[in-house]
């Protein structure tokens, strides 16, 4: 079973973590010392070129990973998956929640 702990949103074309995303990641990590693995699932919206979207999702997952490591989360407990736009789950861009351009922290339970 999996559980989404937090979804960090990104601006279009950006790999910068907002202050809100950093805070959300920090809150999500409280009490996760015994969590065996967290997967960082990175997504892009369908706008733009597919290759660029894959590069963005890879870079976004890396930024989140580096932030988690800076907070003391063990590297060996982190896995990343760049989903790009092929795994796009929210086709209605006007009413989506969470945003398409995101990295989800997913716990394996």
pLDDT by residue, tens only, the chain of 109 residues: 778 889 999 998 899 999 999 999 999 988 776 778 899 999 888 787 888 888 999 999 999 999 999 999 999 999 998 887 765 454 444 444 456 889 999 887 6
Does the global pTM surpass 0.95? no
Write out the H or E segment, with its range, that includes residue 91. Answer: none
> Which stretches of the chain are DSSP H helices?
19-29, 50-70
Task: From 5, 108, 100, 6, select the one nearest 57 (Cα to Cα).
Answer: 100
Rounded to whole angstroms, the Cα distance separating 108 from 3 reads 7
Residue 36: burial class (beta carbons within 10 Å; 0-12, 13-18, 19+): exposed
At the second CATH level, the architecture of 36-96 is: 2-Layer Sandwich (3.30)
């Amino acid at each position: 079973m999996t559980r989404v702990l937090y979804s960090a949103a990104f601006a279009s074309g950006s790999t910068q973590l907002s202050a809100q995303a950093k805070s959300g990641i920090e809150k999500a990590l409280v009490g996760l010392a015994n969590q065996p693995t967290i997967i960082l699932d990175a997504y892009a919206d369908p706008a733009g070129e597919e290759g660029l979207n894959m590069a963005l999702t890879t870079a976004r997952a890396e930024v989140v990973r580096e932030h988690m490591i800076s907070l003391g989360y063990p590297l060996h407990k982190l896995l990343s998956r760049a989903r790009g736009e092929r795994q796009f789950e929210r086709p209605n861009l006007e009413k989506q929640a969470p945003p398409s351009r995101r990295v989800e922290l997913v716990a394996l339970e």
